[in-house]
């Protein structure tokens, strides 16, 4: 019982750290976008965590970890029927795992589910209709994310891909980060770029963020939150495994930041702080798939390459005339794919077969997410539209969608 209590306390602390990451995402997005869209970004982030937890309670958790899951019972929970959703399992059995209780498991996994939606939020900032965004993310977090997660973490077919080798994703480089990244990629393609992002010749123009210090604070909060994201994925307070995971996570983050800023400095002859910050995040995303399988040297290599991939990813999106205001797709999708493949190169079970399983799984997840996102987004576009009008975009979504600004204009008083 003492061991269960120790493990459970650690898992609850990690859930709190992952929750804290939503403040980091909010700060990062606000700082890298324009002041006139601040309320809109905060609203979306509040919606994601509140909606995400409720929908994961009723549907997502049991869809992702099926057990005795009954789809009628799950949807019955939405209507308030007893014995549905989170209540459908014998939750009174508090010791259903050696490492944590049933309630703690739900809370920790629910925070992960909300994270997938937050990744989409940053990429589509400054031009999506708020009601359309909420509907898309509701469906994505409630259905698409749990289904993909069930294929691996729910003991689905990816976990036993072949007789000898199964897909491996320790804390979600693919199952969380690239799931959000694939969704974001499809939606920004359908949305189009912000006004003024590309000139008449298709050249990308910088749209400066409103508060880079706030974004820097957001990145540091996210780095701290990753202690819970990866550390909690050990699923216990085991000293050796937890310590290793925290070390590899930190080293990859540091290497990612240095790799990005040095590489971008070499390419563009300047020391770009935003590349530095997103490089840190790219290193964190990259190590997430195999943080428990790597040593310090491997973590540094994975992180550094992840940071450089972020730099190249930003350039690739600009080349393709795709507008991602915060760099969410290079960080979460491109670095997530790299981190997943790195398990087959540097991991404890690295081999050609493992690499091919990792690669195939990335393709399967990507195809599923792209198809599902296209169906959801096109349906929403046909019914409600996706993008605000040019006038509303120019005015700013705070006023157009919410009727208020983030900062009082004291000069008018």
Report residue 89's pLDDT band, with 50, 70 and 90 as the boundaries: low
pLDDT computed for residue 68 by the predictor: 45
Question: Quick check: is 121 in a domain?
Answer: yes
Q: 130-139 and 38-55 are packed helices; what angle lies between their axes, rounded to 10 degrees?
A: 30
356 phi and psi, to 5 degrees? Answer: -65, -35
Question: Quick one: pLDDT band at residue 410, thresholds 50, 70, 90?
Answer: low
Question: Under 8 Å CB-to-CB from 228, ≥6 apart: which residues?
Answer: 13, 14, 15, 16, 17, 18, 20, 21
Give the mean pLDDT of 369-373: 97
Residue 176 has a pLDDT of: 96
Residue 408 lies inside a defined structural domain of this protein: no
Q: Is the pLDDT reported for residue 287 higher than 90?
A: yes
The parent domain of residue 181 ranges over 2-402
Answer yes or no: is 52 within a domain.
Answer: yes
Residue 219 lies in a domain: yes
Answer whether residue 42 shows pLDDT above 50: yes
Give pLDDT, residue 213: 97
Select the more confidently predicted residue: 45 or 104.
45
CATH code where residue 343 lies: 1.10.3430.10
pLDDT at 5: 82
55, pLDDT greater than 80: yes
The number of folded domains in the chain is: 1
**Domain annotation covers residue 155:** yes
Residue 4 confidence class, pLDDT cut points 50, 70, 90: confident
Give CA separation, 368 vs 57, 81, 144, 364, 372, in Å: 23, 31, 9, 6, 6
36 is a domain residue: yes
Q: What is the pTM of this model?
A: 0.93
- Tell me the C-alpha distance between 349 and 352, whole Å: 10
Question: Does residue 411 sit within a domain?
Answer: no
Average confidence (pLDDT) over 237-252? 97
pLDDT of 71 strictly over 70: no
| Position 163 pLDDT exceeds 80 | no
142 DSSP assignment: I
- Residue 74 predicted with pLDDT over 50: no
pLDDT value of position 83: 46
Tell me what the mean pLDDT of segment 376-401 comes to: 96
197, pLDDT greater than 60: yes
Q: At 322, is the pLDDT very low, low, confident or very high (cuts 50, 70, 90)?
A: very high
Residue 358, in any domain of the structure = yes
């Amino acid at each position: 019982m003492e061991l269960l209590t120790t493990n459970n306390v650690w898992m609850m602390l990690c859930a709190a750290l992952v929750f804290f990451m939503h403040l980091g995402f909010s700060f990062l997005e606000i700082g890298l976008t324009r002041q006139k869209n601040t309320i809109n970004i905060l609203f979306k982030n509040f919606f994601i965590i509140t909606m995400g937890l409720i929908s994961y309670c009723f549907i997502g958790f049991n869809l992702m970890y099926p057990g005795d899951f009954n789809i009628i019972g799950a949807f019955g929970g939405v209507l308030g029927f007893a014995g549905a959703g989170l209540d459908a399992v014998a939750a009174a059995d508090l010791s259903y795992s050696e490492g944590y209780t049933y309630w703690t498991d739900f809370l920790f996994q629910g925070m992960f589910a909300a994270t997938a939606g937050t990744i989409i939020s940053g990429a589509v900032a400054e031009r999506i209709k708020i009601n359309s965004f909420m509907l898309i993310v509701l469906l994505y977090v409630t259905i698409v994310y749990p289904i993909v997660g069930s294929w691996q973490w729910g003991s689905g077919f990816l976990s036993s891909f072949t007789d000898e080798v199964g897909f491996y994703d320790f804390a979600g480089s693919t199952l969380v980060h690239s799931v959000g990244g694939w969704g974001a990629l499809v939606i920004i393609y359908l949305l189009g770029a912000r006004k003024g992002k590309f000139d008449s010749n298709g050249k990308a123009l910088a749209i400066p963020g409103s508060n880079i210090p706030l974004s820097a604070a957001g990145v540091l909060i996210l780095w701290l939150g990753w202690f819970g994201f990866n550390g909690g994925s050990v699923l216990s307070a085991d000293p050796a495994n937890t310590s290793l995971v925290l070390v590899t996570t930190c080293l990859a983050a540091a290497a990612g930041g240095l790799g990005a800023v040095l590489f971008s400095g070499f390419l563009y002859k300047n020391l770009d702080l935003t590349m530095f910050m997103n490089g840190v995040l790219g290193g964190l995303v990259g190590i997430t798939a195999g943080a428990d399988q790597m040593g310090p040297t491997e973590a540094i290599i994975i992180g550094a390459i992840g940071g450089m991939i972020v730099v190249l990813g930003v350039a690739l999106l600009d080349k393709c005339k795709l507008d991602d205001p915060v760099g969410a797709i290079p960080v979460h999708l491109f670095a997530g794919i790299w981190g997943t493949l790195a398990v087959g190169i540097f991991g404890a079970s690295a081999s050609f077969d493992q690499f091919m399983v990792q690669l195939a799984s990335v393709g399967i997840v990507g195809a599923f997410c792209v198809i599902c996102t296209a169906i959801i987004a096109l349906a929403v576009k046909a019914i409600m539209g996706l993008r605000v009008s040019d006038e509303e975009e120019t005015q700013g979504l705070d006023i157009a969608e919410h009727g208020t600004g983030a900062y009082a204009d004291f000069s008018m008083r």
